[in-house]
Amino acid sequence: MAWLAIDESSGRLRPILLGRHKSWVCRRLAMMEKLCVAAQEDLRLGLLSPTMARQLVRLPAGNQQGALETGRRHSLTAAELRGVVDLLLASGTREKAAFVLERPRQALRQAQAGEVRG
């Protein structure tokens, strides 16, 4: 990340402020620690926006990969990914979660219409 540097004395990564407040850097570091490896790599390469990464962090690490792949496969916007994460957190069953991941836009439409599936 552009806001991390290697400390020459210890050889460890340390945050650099780049005109940002320490709390901003700490939040970014915490987000990176909570992201699955694939999302970390996408974020590092600029393939995943910080806004979308913040949504993925809301999920348990084991569920982030599926949501990330769904976002890629369906070219979801940040707002759509937020809705998908909301639905996954509320899904309750594997069947409902699978439906959300397989057909995210349909699941979002049904949720907006108040329909329940599964």
Partners of 15 in the β-ladder:
4
Residue 19 and residue 59 in one domain: no
Model pLDDT for residues 4-50, shown as the tens digit of each residue? 554 556 555 555 555 667 777 777 777 788 899 999 999 888 899 98
Residue 89 and residue 54 in one domain: yes
Mean of the per-residue pLDDT values of the chain: 84
Q: What's the domain range around 2?
A: 1-34
3-state DSSP assignment of residue 5: strand
Residue 30 and residue 84 in one domain: no
- Report how many domains make up the chain: 2
Which of 38-42, 84-88, 92-96 reaches the highest mean pLDDT? 84-88
Q: What mean pLDDT comes out for the span 67-83?
A: 97
Residue 56 and residue 18 in one domain: no
Residue 53 and residue 99 in one domain: yes
* Burial per residue of 21-38, b for 16 or more beta-carbon CB atoms within 10 angstroms, e otherwise: eeeebeebbebbebbbeb
pTM of the model: 0.76
Residue 26 and residue 75 in one domain: no
Paired tokens of 39: 């999302």
Residue 22 and residue 48 in one domain: no
